[in-house]
Structure 1
Amino acid sequence: MLSSFLYNFLSSFVILMVIFIFQTVWLFIDDLAGKDLDLAIIGKFLFYYMPTLIDKVLPLTVLLSSILTFGTFAENYEFAAMKASGISLQRGMRSIIVFVSILGVGTFFLANNVIPAAEQKIFNMRRNIAKLKPAAVIVEGVFSDIEGTAMNIKVARKFGEEDRFLDDVIIHQKSTTNLNTTVIKAKTGELISSEDSDIIQLVLNDGYYYDEMQRKSSKDQKKKPFARSKFETYIKNIDVSSLNDQDIEQESDITTDKMKNVFRLSKDIDSLKTNNIKQVTAFSKNITARMGAFPLKMVDSLKNVDLKKAAKKILPKKIDTSFNTNDITTALPIWQRSQLMTKAENTVTNILNTVRGKKTELNKRYEIYNRHILSLHKKFALAFSCIILFFVGAPLGAIIRKGGLGLPMVIAIILFLAYYFIGVFADNYAKKGAWHPIIGAWLSTLIMLPLGVSLTKRATNDKGLMSIGNVIDSITAVFKKKKESN
């Protein structure tokens, strides 16, 4: 039984991994296609990406291989022969249970050590691929930034040897203030470079040069002056010395929650929590001070103060103090009252804008905090999911009594899609703080747990997937009770 399970497990794993790799190529087609990348670089990218597919491939592999194995045994009446020999289903599953348990431990090791390292490699490669060959950065039909040049370029078509000839070129040149003040348009262009030179010449033909002129006077600047010139040939030199030495696997200091192991995540979760509390506390004190709010003790001490007498001492004598204590503005002249109300309105508006801006920042901070908790628990949930999905697939295969790649494959895909999409929705809700990240990490696995327990009990007791007789008896009993009550 173990040898049959291992055969189905390994074959299913290889097939599913190939399918998901092809899906990965399609997912990152914009990063890989049209960049003149060597096959070795693409191969490295896919190799580093393979461990990150474990969270999708491994649970589906366990589910499918268990359904295939036990479905084939049940279809060939081998379970009946085992039971006739006094061997129970649990005893027959014992060796596979040990293997799946070891697999769960190995999955945790992958999730804790291998997958974070692979995520780091993928992040660095995606970040550096565009810098490897500057000429390859230019993508047809979209604006492409060229690192280190403060410019982006869009072309309608690339053609010729090494895509050196360009059609319909548009260039946005950024100023020192990072604004697009210069626009260059040309019908055709050509990239001229040499292996011994750090300069790429961009030769543009038959075009226009637009430049927004910066004036010192604000009055002149409101007129939005610009200069326009037509050219037959315009040569633009691009310094790529900082790009030619770019290493495709150069490491960066940027790390996300997916690039950290359990120890690092636990440490960063405590740091993020403490920092978020400090941010909220400091912001609350700042807003309280800006609003002029009083501490509760001071408010209590002011309850018995006569506002009229206090106003007579503080305000000028010319101001009429016969006013309603509920509205202190009636003591002021109309022009001062208008100024006071305008200032109060501006203050409140500024405070609200500050609160809205800080709310966005704090939501982002807490989303990062939630992501760390989610990543921490997903490492454990992935290991347990392999064990739980085995106890879903194995008894299900024994119940449906069907081997091969027909019905078992359909059932496995349906169950896995339910498991996967529940996990995706739970992740999204947890990241946004709709519910606790621990629930988001464990929800799909916990939903499969009672299903596995129920199916295992039914398979042990030789019951079908659904007993129609029991359902009919229950419905009949309900109608019988209603008839007796009438």
Structure 2
Amino acid sequence: MKILDKYLLKTFLTTFTTVFVILFFIFILQTVWLFISELAGKDLDLVMVIKFLAFAMPRIVPLVLPLSILLASIMTFGNLAENYEFAAMKSSGISLQRAMRMLTIFIILLSIMAFFFANNVIPYAEYKFINFRKNIAQVKPALAIAEGQFNDVGFYNIKVNKKSGKEGNELTGITIHKKSKIGDGSKTVIKAKNGSLISSEESSILQLVLNDGYYYEDIVPKNYEDRSKMPFAKSSFKKQIINIDLSELNKTDVNDASVTNTNTMLTINELSYTLDSLNKNIKTEVKNFTENPTARINYPAPKVFPKTKVKKELPTDILSLYTNQQKSDILKIASSNITNTSYSIETIRSEILNKQKNINKHLIAFYDKFVIVFACFLMFFIGAPLGAIIRKGGLGLPIVFAVLIFITYHFINTFGKRLAQEDGMTPFLGAWLSSIILTPFAILLTYRATNDIGLINMDVILLPFQKLFKKLFPTTQN
């Protein structure tokens, strides 16, 4: 390794490390903000908070790494150009491609590491992150209930005035609203002076023991006019035990997250196996639906047909062969068959569409493992030539360019993935859309930087206007 390569590599690594740490810290703060409701007011100790953040950190790397490479490249090559170090290199016969050679090798190694990180570390961290959130209430059930506010716990909204005890399991001033299973609000209210939470790591059932309380329930009579006669029922109790299924507790947000993030917990081999199973499943379902149309149609019984002699030609109006009552029965059966068939088609269409969306999400997760590799190259070959062109280092103009480029990249990437998930475009195109759009920009910047052409050739833009101005206002010669 020559002295120049060592110098460029050292300069780039120093800038890259600094930028990566700063950006990583910013994105960690964003993660804390997103999950503040799960962290604040729940008596989490420091170890659990650190675990929570540690499991959430790897998912940030695919965002931070390309942006760090882009900003570090602009700053490094911008400083070299600003301090006329590039001019000295070029006067010595060293081209931009030669200056970028060692850094390109470093980016290749970094991209390989990013691929293995995305394929192994991130899926494992996602699995641990989701399960940590899922089991947090089971390991320490008191964390599921914060003081002074209603907490959504399965089919119950629970509010306590105060928690005490070593694990916060002793509760005082308990108010419980039981949700209606048919979704028409809360018709049952339970109030108790005190109580306690009992749970076990081996069981998914959380027991809430209530002491000295009252039970109120609105009774809905069959006839609306009788509502004034039976407004509610009231009873008191010395001790009552409520069993809460923690799987219902986790269903509120954790299972939803696991449904949308299951694909992020899989490696390439696991994604390939899962995609094969999902494709076979959807093909089998479509085949079964299309090959068995008679199962959805109820043909009229043979006895409804009149006993007539077979003629050589059937009449044009087949219904004329039947009596009015038989015609009415046949039309009702036909109408019912049409309605049932339409409903079956709409139902299977909705199911197949949801399954296709799930396949699209897995395909996008599969392509994302490779997109991050190309993103490292793309951002380097945008940042390095751009820094050489603008000839400005530091944290001013480079940050503006880096943020604008990365926001464009991230917006196109998000738009493409969302559109591909909804089957608006192929998952391959959705995952690679941002890379496909910005690749010509990287090639253009590299070409212009190599040939010492500015970012924008103003002469090409202004020359037509100058000619037009001279024609309209010719100069007079004395």
Bin for the TM-score computed over the shorter chain: 0.7 to 0.9
Aligned letter for 1:229? A
Q: Which residue of 2 aligns with 1:303?
A: none
Instruction: Indicate yes or no: 2:43 matched with 1:36.
Output: yes
Instruction: Indicate yes or no: 2:75 matched with 1:65.
Output: no
Length-normalised TM-score, structure 2: 0.81
Partner Cα separation in structure 1 for residue 468 and residue 429 of structure 2: 37
Deviation at 1:278, TM superposition (A): 1.2
Distance 1:234 1:450, change over 3 A: farther
Contact 1:13/1:58 (8 A) holds in 2: yes
Aligned letter for 2:272? S
Instruction: Indicate yes or no: 2:36 matched with 1:46.
Output: no
Deviation at 1:179, TM superposition (A): 9.0
Residue pairs, 1:447-466, within 5 angstroms: 447-466=437-456
Q: How high is the sequence identity, in percent, across the aligned residues? A: 38
Q: Which residue of 2 aligns with 1:378?
A: 368
Length-normalised TM-score, structure 1: 0.80
**Unaligned stretches of 5+ in structure 2?**
1-7, 201-205, 251-257, 471-478
Deviation at 1:7, TM superposition (A): 0.6
Distance 1:199 1:282, change over 3 A: closer
Q: Secondary structure at the match of 2:57?
A: helix
Partner Cα separation in structure 1 for residue 376 and residue 135 of structure 2: 35
Distance 1:135 1:363, change over 3 A: same
Give the one of 93, 109, 121 matched to 1:114.
Answer: 121
Instruction: Indicate yes or no: 2:134 matched with 1:124.
Output: no
Q: Which residue of 2 aligns with 1:152?
A: 156
Partner Cα separation in structure 1 for residue 355 and residue 28 of structure 2: 33
Q: Secondary structure at the match of 1:164?
A: strand
Deviation at 1:476, TM superposition (A): 7.0
Q: Which residue of 2 aligns with 1:185?
A: 189
Give the one of 307, 312, 327 matched to 1:316.
Answer: 307
Q: Secondary structure at the match of 1:190?
A: strand
Q: Which residue of 2 aligns with 1:389?
A: 379
Contact 2:298/2:333 (8 A) holds in 1: no
Residue pairs, 1:288-299, within 5 angstroms: 289-291=295-297
Aligned letter for 2:134? R
Contact 2:306/2:321 (8 A) holds in 1: no
Q: Which residue of 2 aligns with 1:405?
A: 395
Deviation at 1:128, TM superposition (A): 1.4
Contact 2:174/2:195 (8 A) holds in 1: no
Partner Cα separation in structure 1 for residue 231 and residue 312 of structure 2: 64
CA RMSD of aligned residues (A): 3.8
Q: Secondary structure at the match of 1:441?
A: helix
Give the one of 198, 201, 208 matched to 2:209.
Answer: 201
Q: Which residue of 1 aligns with 2:411?
A: 421
Give the one of 88, 91, 103 matched to 2:98.
Answer: 91
Number of aligned positions between the proteins: 439
Partner Cα separation in structure 1 for residue 230 and residue 103 of structure 2: 76
Greater shift after overlay, 185-194 or 388-397?
Answer: 185-194
Distance 1:429 1:189, change over 3 A: farther
Deviation at 1:143, TM superposition (A): 5.5
Contact 1:323/1:330 (8 A) holds in 2: no
Aligned letter for 2:195? L
Contact 2:192/2:210 (8 A) holds in 1: no
Distance 1:241 1:475, change over 3 A: closer
Contact 2:264/2:365 (8 A) holds in 1: yes
Partner Cα separation in structure 2 for residue 341 and residue 143 of structure 1: 55
Partner Cα separation in structure 2 for residue 187 and residue 319 of structure 1: 79
**Unaligned stretches of 5+ in structure 1?**
214-218, 247-252, 294-310, 481-486
Q: Secondary structure at the match of 1:208?
A: strand
Contact 1:71/1:400 (8 A) holds in 2: yes
Deviation at 1:238, TM superposition (A): 3.6
Q: Which residue of 2 aligns with 1:363?
A: 353
Partner Cα separation in structure 1 for residue 39 and residue 310 of structure 2: 77
Contact 1:48/1:121 (8 A) holds in 2: yes
Contact 2:191/2:213 (8 A) holds in 1: yes
Contact 1:210/1:227 (8 A) holds in 2: yes
Give the one of 234, 239, 243 matched to 1:230.
Answer: 234
Contact 1:134/1:240 (8 A) holds in 2: no
Aligned letter for 1:261? T
Partner Cα separation in structure 2 for residue 476 and residue 242 of structure 1: 76
Q: Which residue of 1 aligns with 2:473?
A: none
Distance 1:344 1:62, change over 3 A: same
Deviation at 1:318, TM superposition (A): 10
